[in-house]
Structure formats: structure tokens, C-alpha cells
Structure 1
Amino acid sequence: MFLWAGAKGGSSGGHEKRTIYQKIREYDVLDKRKTVTALRAGEDRAILLGLSMVLFSVMMYFVLGITMVRSYADSVWTEESSCTVINSTVVAEVNCTYSCGSDCWKSSRFPCLQVFVSLNTSGRVHRLSYNEEAQDSNPECFYVPKCRKDHSSMYSIVLNISEKLKMHQQVLCYHDPGEHQENVLLTRLYGRAAVFHSLFWPTCTLVCGTLIIAMVKLTQYLSILCERVSRIKR
């Protein structure tokens, strides 16, 4: 009777130990599952972030390709040279319109500054424009200021530009090597530096997004490889 009770007590103690061990195993399994779930959620978010960055950079490349890069490729003012300012005078006043509110436009006038330069490489005389926008707006005038109500402020801006050109007679200019354009430019809106700076950040975004996706995929591959190695050792 005593032996039977002792055996019964021993078996119940072993059962309790197995129950505690099973509970510990269950807690470990739950913790591992929670960790794996959290890691997978973080990996999914990282991949989503990387894909968003790649998609954003591709869209920026598309937008810049049809605006900045296309304008740079179509520009004919590609040759840089030194020019000597021959004449810089205000010849006339040009009508312009400015906005005074919703569906409200009023007229004003701005002085037309004409600048002639001599191209040092060829000796030919050309009319100088500030950039492509001034050339397209009014090729007769060097600079086209933003139309304002205050005529005197626009006049002072143009006179200030004229005085600076007279002080610095030697300036760098961009001309058409094919000589299809009579005007030369003082600055280029769509030069190499502008194209480089516009493409720099989309390129950085594309590289960072690709690296994030590659690192997540590499981490997943290494975790699967480690799990296979641990199973083989068992």
C-alpha cells in the first residue's frame, strides 16, 4: 500500500514537472512566434519603404526627363566663350501685364535693355540675352523683369544691371556653334550643373531604396540558411 502510494506520488511529481516544462516550451514558442511576426512586419514595412523610394525616383526621372533633360538636350547654346560688352543701353519701353487679383489684369511698362557683345573667338557682334526665358520672351531685350505696378522699381533694376555690365566688360557667354541663333546667352537655365543637381537627389533616393530592399532580402535569406543549418545539427 505504501509502495503504491509512493509510486503514485512519484508519477504525479513527474507529471507536474512535465507540465511545467511544457508550459515553458509553450511560452518559448509563443515568444518566438511573436518575435518572428514582429520581424516580418518590420521587413514588410522596410520593403514597402524601399519600393516607395524606387517608385518616387522613377517618377522624378520621368518628370525631369521631359523637362530639364529634354531642354538641355535641345539647347543650341552649348559653346562657352568670352565676350566683350560693346554697348548696354535702354532703347525703349515694352508693355506688360500684371495680376491685380482674381480675373484682374492691369497693364504696365518695363524698360528694354539692349546689350551687344563681341565674341572673342570669332569677333562677331551678337545681341546678349540673360537666359533662355528672356530669349523666348523678348529676344530684343537683355532682361525681362517680372511685370509690376511700380514702373520705377523695374527701371532701377534694369539700370543696375546695365551699370554692372558696363563695369565688367569681359563676361562669359554661351553661343550657338552652328551659328543658327544670332543671340548669345549670359547664363543657361538648363546647363550641366543644373541637370546634375536636379538628377542627384532622385539618384540618391533610387540607390537608398534599392539598398533597403537588397538588405531585407539578404537578411531573410541568411535567416532561412541559419534555420536549415540548425535543423541539420539537430
Structure 2
Amino acid sequence: MRVILTKRFCRSFQQSFRTSSVRKGGRGESGKMFFVAGAKSGGGSGGERRSIYQKIREVDVLDKKKTVTALSAGEDRAMFLGLGMILSSVMMYFVLCITVLRAYADSVWTEESVCIVLNSTIVADVNCSYSCGSDCWRASKYPCLQIYVSVNNTGRVSLLSHNEETQEANSECFYVPKCQKDSSAMHAMTVNISERLKVHQQVPCYYDPGEQQGSVLLSRLYGRSAVFHSLFWPSCMLTGGTLIIFMVKLTQYLSILSEEIGKIKR
């Protein structure tokens, strides 16, 4: 009897163990299925996140491209502006070199001194012509004022002329006014100049140290101040154009350097 009971107990124990293992196996399979489903659902959310990230990155890339395009267009305009300023200044230098600088270099009245007015008189009337319309010229007269001065540095006595243009027009007269119909107005103006020079006995003047020209000038059209003022604005334009190009190149260099630093950090 005891043997039979033990056999029955063993059989029942084996059956209960099999049923429990079957149940556990079913739970394991269901757990595996749940894990696979969860993994699939997690992969879908990750894909959505990746797609959103890619869209955001594409938008950022487009914005960067637009910014780079705008910057390149602005840089090109700045470069053209700088080059235009430099070319304009070079052309102005060329014009000034053949006019002002050439006249300044060819001038023989280079030394400055103080002249003492010795005599100032109107000696004669000089014929001139003025325009009265298209292809119409009429005759008039202006008084010729002669002024003798003594140069302190040399001690010589010379005729005084107003400037280079007066010297070329009439070397015998101090001032050559613009010819007008009213000769009395020109005469009154010349008398006024003569009286002023008599009041101011000492006047600054320019003479020729090589004594090629016997006359003396009261003022120079193309002196140092005239050369400085004529070259000032072209020099400013040249400097401005050079600074613009330098700033554009510096900006490009800094942008490239920042991009390289960003790539290294990534």
C-alpha cells in the first residue's frame, strides 16, 4: 500500500510540476512578446524624433545658407565700393599731378620773404575786350598799376605781380582785372588796391632765388597750402577704400576661423 501511495504521489507531483512549467512558459512567451512590442513601439518614437531633428537641422542649414548668401552679397558690395574709391582717388591723383603738382614743380618763385613797397602808381590804360554775346566782342580799358618793391633777403628792387596768372597775362601790371564794359569801375578797384598797398608798407612776397624772373609775386596760386588742400580729399578717399577692403578681408578671415573652431569642438 505504501508503495502504491508513493507512486501516486510522485505522479501527481510530476503532473503539477508540468502544469506549473507550462504556465511559466506561457508567461515567458507573453513577456517576450510584450518586450518585442515595446521595442517596436520605442523604435517608432525614436524614428519620429529623428525625423523632427532632421527637419530642424535642415531649417537651420537653410537659415545658415541664407545668412551666408546675404553676407557674401554685402561683402561683394563693400569690396566694389572700396575698389571704386581707390580707383577714383588714383584718377584724381593723376589729374592733380598734371595740373597742380606740375605747376607747383615748375614754379620758380619758391622763396618767401618780406617786401617793402617803394612806389605804387597807375601808369597807363591797357586795351582789353569783353564779350557782349555770341560772336560779339567790344573794346574797353583797364588801368595798369605798377608797384615797385624791395626784397629784404636780396635787397634788389623788382616789380610786384599779384600771382602767376597776372605774370603771364601782363608782367608790367600788378593786377589784371576781368575786362568789363564799365571802365570806371575797374579804375576805382585798381585805385583801391593801390591805396591799401600804400598803407601796408611791408607785405609778404615770393621771389626767384635763381634770378631767372625779375618780378616778385604777392601770392602763389599753386603753393604748399594749395597742394595740401588739393591732395587732402583724394588721400581720404584712398584711405577709406583701403580700410573697407581690409575690414572685409578681416571679417572673412574671422568667419573662417570661427567655423574651424566649431568643427574642432564638434
Does 1:179 pair with 2:185? no
Q: How does 1:26-175 map to 2 (within 5 A)?
A: 26-175=58-207
Q: Could you state the TM-score of these two structures normalised by the residue count of structure 1?
A: 0.93
Letter of the aligned partner of 1:141 in structure 2? C
Letter of the aligned partner of 1:180 in structure 2? Q
Letter of the aligned partner of 1:224 in structure 2? I
Which residue number corresponds to residue 195 of structure 1? 227
Which residue number corresponds to residue 22 of structure 2? none
| Distance across 1 between alignment mates of 2:87 and 2:108 | 33
Which residue number corresponds to residue 24 of structure 2? none
Question: 1:221 Cα deviation (Å)?
Answer: 1.2
| Distance across 1 between alignment mates of 2:131 and 2:49 | 87
| Distance across 2 between alignment mates of 1:24 and 1:155 | 88
Structure 2 gap segments, 5+ residues each: 1-29
Question: 1:140 Cα deviation (Å)?
Answer: 0.7
Does 1:204 pair with 2:236? yes
Who wins on radius of gyration, i.e. which is larger? 2
CA root-mean-square deviation: 1.9
**Could you give the per-residue CA deviations for residues 100-130 of structure 1, whole angstroms, max 9, x where no partner exists?**
2333322221111111111122321100000
**Matched residues, percent identical?**
69
Question: 1:9 Cα deviation (Å)?
Answer: 5.3
Question: 1:7 Cα deviation (Å)?
Answer: 6.1
Pick the structure with more helix per residue: 2
Q: Which moved more, 1:18-27 or 1:76-85?
A: 18-27
Q: Could you state the TM-score of these two structures normalised by the residue count of structure 2?
A: 0.82
Which residue number corresponds to residue 227 of structure 1? 259
Question: 1:233 Cα deviation (Å)?
Answer: 2.3
Give secondary structure in 1 for the equivalent of 2:99: helix
